[in-house]
Amino acid sequence: MSRGVALVTGASSGIGAVTAAALARRGYRVVVHGRDERATAGVAMAVNGVPVCADLAHAGEAERLATRALEVGDGRIEVLVNNAGFGWHGDFRTMPKGTADRLLAVNLAAPIALTRALLPAMREHNAGRVVFVSSIAGRLGVGGEAVYAASKAGLDCFADSLRGELRETGIRIGVVVAGVIATPFFDRRGTPYARRWPKPIPTEAAAEAVMRCVERGTAEVYVPRWLRVPVVVQGVAPGVYRWLEGRFGGEGGTR
């Protein structure tokens, strides 16, 4: 018996593809979103889901995707995983024109628009899960990824605020704070990940974190768990954190 419909954005590869498979194994009918038509169709076929291609940087595409997901669910949606992300690494002064707009559109505006479009259906049935795949860059800031970090910080704040609004409902908001995950993200951002430590961890670990938010209603999961430590240090001793970051920090890089 189906457990309902789950929409996963950015599911044509990486964390999204593994998450789509995990949801399908648990009985959800998955709406698989991606930009690459062939890759998206391949993942959808593998999980017996529904492929929907859309470029979330374009106006109206998030709403079109939400409408299709609701059509699949006959007006209901149980799970929304906002995973689609876009990155760029380099000196902020050299960022190509339009890149900042695209980063903010895909990483921040689109998840807000999708959540706004799908939340009424969840409110109607007083049940649902909304999960945001964020980044440690949004908690700490990362040199070379200023706009990306800002977009993820905004996503974190949106999730926290929304959680407060929905506290008395059956809807739960989860955030996965991802570190360095082994996905094509780094190749696509224009600069491969080159640090020897920390080493990228498997996409399955991030997908498991997403599933914790879905199945348990967990509000926040760090991947890996030790990433919580620098966030705590920054909060309680910002001067110490800045000294450590200056001494040991280097190339940025998240999922």
Asked if the structure places residue 250 within a domain, the reply is no
User: Could you tell me where the beta strands, DSSP code E, fall in the chain?
Assistant: 4-8, 28-34, 50-53, 79-82, 128-135, 171-178, 220-223
Has residue 27 been placed in a domain?
A: yes
pLDDT per position in the chain (255 positions), as tens?
A: 578 999 999 999 999 999 999 999 999 999 999 999 999 999 999 999 999 999 999 999 999 999 999 999 999 999 999 999 999 889 999 999 999 999 999 999 999 999 999 999 999 999 999 999 999 999 998 888 999 999 999 999 999 999 999 999 999 999 999 987 766 665 565 666 666 666 777 899 999 999 999 999 999 999 998 888 888 877 777 776 565 666 555 444 455
The answer to whether position 246 is within a domain reads no
Rounded Cα distance between 208 and 191, Å, is: 27
Contact assessment for residue 129 and residue 115, using Cβ atoms and an 8 Å cutoff = no
Q: Does 180 map to a domain?
A: yes
What is the rounded CA–CA span in Å between residue 163 and residue 115? Answer: 12
pTM: 0.89
- Asked, for residue 74, whether it belongs to a domain, the answer is yes
CATH of the domain at 23: 3.40.50.720
The two tokens of residue 162 are 């929304």
Query: 242 in a domain, yes or no?
Result: no
Give the domain extent around 151: 5-229
Assess if residue 245 is contained within a domain: no
Q: Is 148 a catalytic residue?
A: yes
The pLDDT tens digits of the residues spanning 51-80 come to 999 999 999 999 999 999 999 999 999 999
The residue whose two tokens read 């980044």 is 135
- The total number of structural domains in the chain stands at 1
Catalytic residue among 148, 193, 222, 241: 148
